Amino acid sequence: MFDFKRKNQFDFGSYASKDDRDIEVYRLRTESRQGLWSESLKLLRDIFLIIAVFILLGVFVAQPVVVEGTSMLPELHDGERLLVNKLVYYKFQSVSWGHIERGDVIVFWYPKDPEKSYVKRVIGLPGEMVEVRDGKILINNQELNEPYLDSEYNQSLPSYEPKKVDEHYYFVMGDNRDNSSDSRLWGLVPEKYIYGKAFFRYWNPSHIGFLKHGKYNLPEEVKTKDVRAKSEE
């Protein structure tokens, strides 16, 4: 009575990519696994690159250090954290951060015991004559102004014999002259022992910022005049 057979009808089967080049067949589970694996590899790659960059920065550019002691009061306090610029190794004379200048706060291995490190301020440069007379610093017989000092930490006002700074050496002192073991007591710092100069304090929060660099009345011209005088002799 009833003809249940469908005439002129077509049976539709599953599609395949070979049926039509514009049709793409996705297997959702497989694709999701592949996508997760791919994203995981990208994340690991990015983490590796970030770590590599930080390692390179730590080795060649900057290094964190911790201040121990009070020899640099009032500029630096015990327990503060500093960033040290290590580019002084490469001696870029065209820019201030690429070489050591008078007034720089440097970090170096203690010459008497290289297992220890000290932080002090550069006072005397190679070729200069440094004298401490009644607590005042004389560079080649000219008094050096030091605006960063605080009289509270400089009351003893001692005197020391003049000392010639050899080539590739530096005369360093702490800002707390009453309580600082420095070049007045144990001598000059070899250039090769200096592994960086501090430029930024990132802890504690109340003192975050760049360190103060001394501004002097006789920076490089004193050394220049001294060298010229020798050449004329």
Strands 105-109 and 194-203: antiparallel
Which of helix, strand or coil describes residue 104? Answer: coil
Q: How far apart are CA 84 and CA 200, in angstroms?
A: 7
223, 128 Cβ separation under 8 angstroms: yes
Q: Which of 7, 18, 71, 230 is catalytic?
A: 71
- What is the largest distance, in Å, between two alpha-carbon atoms of the chain? 134
Q: How far apart are CA 53 and CA 19, in angstroms?
A: 50
Annotation marks residue 120 as catalytic? yes
Q: Which of 40, 86, 91, 120 is catalytic?
A: 120
CA–CA–CA angle 137, 141, 143 (5° rounding): 40
Annotation marks residue 206 as catalytic? no
Cα distance between the two ends of the chain: 134
Label each residue of 139-184 as H, E or C.
ECCEECCCCCCCHHHCCCCCCEEEEECCCCEEEEECCCHHHCCCHH
Listing from the earlier edge strand, what are the strands of the sheet with 136-139?
A: 142-143, 136-139, 129-133, 160-164
Radius of gyration of the chain (CA): 33
* Active site residues per annotation: 71, 120
